[in-house]
Amino acid sequence: MIKFTKMHGNGNDFILIDEYHGKVVEDKDKPGFAATYCDRRFGIGADGVLFLGGSDRADIRMRLFQPDGSEAEMCGNGIRCLVRYAIDEGYVTGTSTIETLAGVLTVGPDGEWIRVNMGKPAYNGIEHLDGYEVYSTNTGVPHAIIFVEDLDFVISEIAPGIRYAPVFPEGANVNFVRIENDHEITIRTYERGVEAETLSCGTGAVASAYVAHRLGKTCDRVVVHTAGGCLRVLLGADGVAFMEGGAVRVYDGAVEV
Catalytic residues: 75, 201
The C-alpha atoms of residue 48 and residue 32 are separated, in whole angstroms, by: 12
Of the candidates 204, 186, 195, 129, the one whose C-alpha atom is nearest the C-alpha of residue 156 is 195
The C-alpha atoms of residue 156 and residue 142 are separated, in whole angstroms, by: 18
The C-alpha atoms of residue 171 and residue 160 are separated, in whole angstroms, by: 10
Characterize the bridge pairing of strands 49-53 and 12-19. Answer: parallel
Eight-class DSSP state of 164 = T
Please compute Rg for the chain using Cα positions. Answer: 17
